[in-house]
Amino acid sequence: MSMKIRLARGGSKKRPHYAIVATDSRMPRDGRFLEKLGTYNPLLAKDSEDRVKMDVERVQYWIAKGAQPTDRVARFLEAAGLAPKAERKNMKKAVPGAKATKRAAEKAAKAAAPAEE
């Protein structure tokens, strides 16, 4: 049985509230779980103590049993100091493409040409 530590969504529309749960990976996101390990409220301020609450001992127990945390839960564990910081890929999504870079260079050259005269 492959175990996951993941988020189960609760709350109403546009007011999410998540439970951090240990579950079988084959169960639905909000379906049956084995144990509730904590809560996550994304509506609270990022520096709030109540934003993420976890039962650290139980999380460590499930990880020792072989449960794999999801990406978001792994970030919570990193912030709590329970997991080593993983290196993530920087996909450079904000960097413009080749055509846009070329257009920007041409525009800069055109703007610089009248200033020289």
Long-range contacts formed by 34-42: CB under 8 A, 24+ apart: 34/3, 35/62, 37/5, 37/62, 40/7, 40/76, 41/17, 42/16, 42/18
Is residue 101 a part of any domain in this protein? no
Question: For residue 115, what pLDDT is reported?
Answer: 61
Domain of residue 50 covers 3-80
Is residue 93 a part of any domain in this protein? no
Looking at the predicted structure, is the pLDDT value of residue 10 above 60?
yes
The H or E element spanning position 107 is helix 98-116
Measured in degrees and rounded to the nearest 5, phi and psi for residue 70 equal -75, 175
Question: How many domains are contained in the chain?
Answer: 1
Is residue 98 a part of any domain in this protein? no
Question: For residue 67, what pLDDT is reported?
Answer: 92
Question: For residue 51, what pLDDT is reported?
Answer: 93
Is residue 109 a part of any domain in this protein? no
* pLDDT single digits (tens) 30-86: 888 899 999 999 999 989 989 999 999 999 999 999 999 999 999 999 998 888 888
Is residue 8 a part of any domain in this protein? yes
* pLDDT single digits (tens) 76-117: 999 988 888 888 777 777 788 889 999 999 999 988 887 655
| Domain containing residue 59: CATH number | 3.30.1320.10
Question: For residue 32, what pLDDT is reported?
Answer: 86
Band of pLDDT at residue 9, cut at 50, 70 and 90: very high
The mean pLDDT value for 17-30 works out to: 90
Is residue 117 a part of any domain in this protein? no
Is residue 97 a part of any domain in this protein? no
Is residue 46 a part of any domain in this protein? yes
Looking at the predicted structure, is the pLDDT value of residue 1 above 70?
no
